[in-house]
Structure 1
Amino acid sequence: MVIPEQILEAKEARARRQKEMIATYHLPLISISINIPGREKSSHDARVIFEAALHEIKQQKFHIMTEINLNTPSGFEAIFCVHANAHELKNAMISIEETHLLGRFMDLDVMDEQGMILSRAAQLSAKRTCYLCDRPAIVCAREQTHSLAALLRHIHEKVEHFEHNRKTRL
């Protein structure tokens, strides 16, 4: 289990890596992290969600120039530099977040060639809702509306459902 300071340091290191990759490649990038509450950021459920995100991004028709995958104190993360239009990338990432069974737990950020983050609002996409209710996620997180156990149980149930569906397709 990690402490909040380690998570913050890992997020700051991710931001530095993003800036370095944009400066090196002069291309938009996709930054993947996993929305898992609590201090355990590298659980089995987090790994399954992360691998599903990687798979979905690689199924897109974008030309990936380079990729970095890490397991940090803030959890699993990846950065892709992509030869594509940043707005098209963001729309594709929003589609994955909104349509994939585990998409709600994926944080698929897009930065343009200048390092500006493309927001969901800029793409006229709705803010994310809570895992357990229809309120904005930011409100429930700030007010701690739901217990950590309830949130993790919900995530685990979705991951189990995803794994079951994946096994039955094989």
Structure 2
Amino acid sequence: MKRILEDREKRFFKVLSLYEKYSFPILVGKINYPGNNKNTLEAVSAFNVLYSLLIEQFREYTIHNEVDDGFDGKSVLMVLNLDKMKIKKMAVEIEETHSLGRIFDIDVYEGEKSVSRKDLGFKERRCIVCGEDARVCARELRHTVDEVLSFINSRIRRYIAKYESINDMV
């Protein structure tokens, strides 16, 4: 757990460094994946889907992008020449509409300040397992890590299987 927290801190300092260098908003994309192993086959597969979506969605606005890999899993950092609120709105749309969107975690920073869903009038995230307020479920430990991982991994496997079968038809 210590290494995961250290990775998160390093990523935050990298966000600050990128903002200092470019003075444009920074998008950070990663997978919302519980447990100590954030580099499972499923987590990496889901990250690859997220990465492809973000590259496609923000291609014309990208000044810089890089992928980090560590104990906290993979993450992408993108410096974007676009208004932070517009970026967050586009990010929330991905999180809300893509079949894996609920496990995507897309944050937008301007310096050390992040743009929240509430800033745009969106509701807080819902629990992936039961649909209730995610923060309440986490605080009250309503679901075990194994239960959440099983749910998430199943969703990722179904998506990958569907995607592979579509590609087989082409």
Letter in 1 for 2:70: T
The question of 1:151 aligning with 2:166 is answered no
Rounded to whole Å, the distance in 1 between the matches of 2:135 and 2:91 is 20
Secondary structure of 2:68 counterpart: strand
Q: Distance in 2 between matches of 1:135 and 1:159?
A: 21
Partners of 1:165 and 1:91 in 2: CA distance: 27
* Structure 1 residue ranges, 4+ long, deviating more than 3 angstroms after superposition: none
Q: Which amino acid aligns with 1:50?
A: F
Q: Distance in 2 between matches of 1:165 and 1:134?
A: 24
Helix, strand or coil: the match of 1:110? strand
* Matched residue, 2:78: 80
* Distance in 2 (alpha carbons) for counterparts of 1:58 and 1:115: 23
Unaligned runs of 5+ in 1: none
In structure 1, the partner of 2:66 is 68
- Structure 2 counterpart of 1:91, which letter? K
2:101 to 100, 103, 106: 103
Give 1:101 deviation, angstroms. 1.0
Letter in 2 for 1:85: D
CA distance, structure 2, for counterparts of residue 82 and residue 24 of structure 1: 12
Q: 2:53 aligns with which of 35, 53, 56?
A: 56
Any idea what the Cα deviations from partners look like across 1:59-81, whole Å, max 9, x if unmatched? 21542111110111111111000
Q: 1:2-41 maps to which residues of 2 (within 5 A)?
A: 4-41=1-38
Aligned to 1:94: 92
Normalising by the residue count of structure 2, what TM-score does the alignment of the two structures yield? 0.93
2:159 paired residue number:
162
Taking the aligned partners of 1:167 and 1:11, their CA distance within structure 2 comes to 32
Distance 1:51 1:71 in 2: 12
CA distance in 2, matches of 1:115, 1:83: 17
Structure 2 unmatched runs, 5+ = none
In 1, distance between residues paired with 2:154 and 2:4? 25
Q: Cα distance, 1:116 vs. partner?
A: 2.0
CA distance in 2, matches of 1:160, 1:75: 18
1:4-41 residue CA offsets vs partner (Å, 9 max, x unmatched): 11111111101100000000011111001211111011
Q: Which has the higher helix share?
A: 2
